[in-house]
Structure 1
Amino acid sequence: MKKFIFLVVVLMLLGCKTATIKEEIPQAENTDEVSLEQVCKIDKCRENITLKFMTNAGPFEQHLDLYWPVVQGEVLSLLANEKVFIEAELIDGRFVNFKMVEEITNPEKTIVFNFTQMEGKVDMMLSVKNPFPKRMKFHLDMIDFKGNLHKTSSCPVIARGGVFEMWPHAIPELLVSNIRALEESDSMSCVY
């Protein structure tokens, strides 16, 4: 069973998100698929990462020499136990011009995403810190061990504050999309 889960996760990590990437790279117009190597020539891919987390079948560990970028146009990819700093601009009620940075040098425009697993458990937690003067809302999709997307609810992030999201199971990757500002009159509901 462990070998099966390992194989499924490896296949998922090596092959997921190809369609989304293809749509965002103009050079890919005449091809059916864009390889990871082609994407990495254009965008900053993750390099030499080791995924470590607990599954219901036991511990999982996999080293990846290369993996898809954190920033994929207006979609962010977060791997289990990954903390990223994303600079953004707020234009016409939408967060745009995402740029991953190694450290916070512009705190007024750097969103912090920290996707972790609870120690000794399979439970996952996402914390988000919003430096902007507007409340933030986004869509969250979980990528399971087979590479399938599953919508999940997310709560709005208060202006210049943070939010925590939790799940009672292992999640190899989260996709964050449709990142937008909320007005004071907008609902604070925790929905997709």
Structure 2
Amino acid sequence: MTYAEQDSGPATPPDAAARRDWAWGRLTTPIGPLLLAATREGLVQVVFHADERTTCGALARLEQFFGGPPLAEIPHLTTATAELTAYFAGELRSFTVPLDWSLSAGFNARVLHALADGVPYGSVVGYQDLADRVGEPGAARAVGAAMGSNPLPVVVPCHRVVASDGGIGGFGGGLETKRLLLALEGVLPAPLF
């Protein structure tokens, strides 16, 4: 069985006795509001289009996963907010905030780690190339599914993964969001209006 065939969903939530501290915030950006959540280990989730409904759903899932309600503040949340603000201002090309990978497991986690470590600002990679990088030739569709499950978009740059035919490919945050992120990084021309 290959890694691509194994279960690659999120990790198992901790039991109630293993409650983990976490906090969240919302950040206004040029691509719309983002919900950011962090634990003491690092940034754990970024959610696109964080309107009230989306935020409530995400917070309920995080509260269940981490075994309790959020705290008022976690230092990694402050760092992530500052770094994302600088990124959207064109002042940051590489994130240094620690990442908490607990919402990812299996093949998806392997692919997301390879993406985070190997596809720098201003560059793109094909789904098939990323599959090859993790030793799973022929798993381009599974890589696409891993991108769709990315709990840390923008910071773990799934917007930099494109179709091998030169097309932009899909994107969980919407194609217009992907275009805007790629334009910010100089991969695509900036939209005219």
TM-score (norm 2): 0.29
Of structures 1 and 2, the one scoring higher in RCO (CA 8 A, sep 6+) is 2
More helix by share: 2
TM-score (norm 1): 0.30
More strand by share: 1
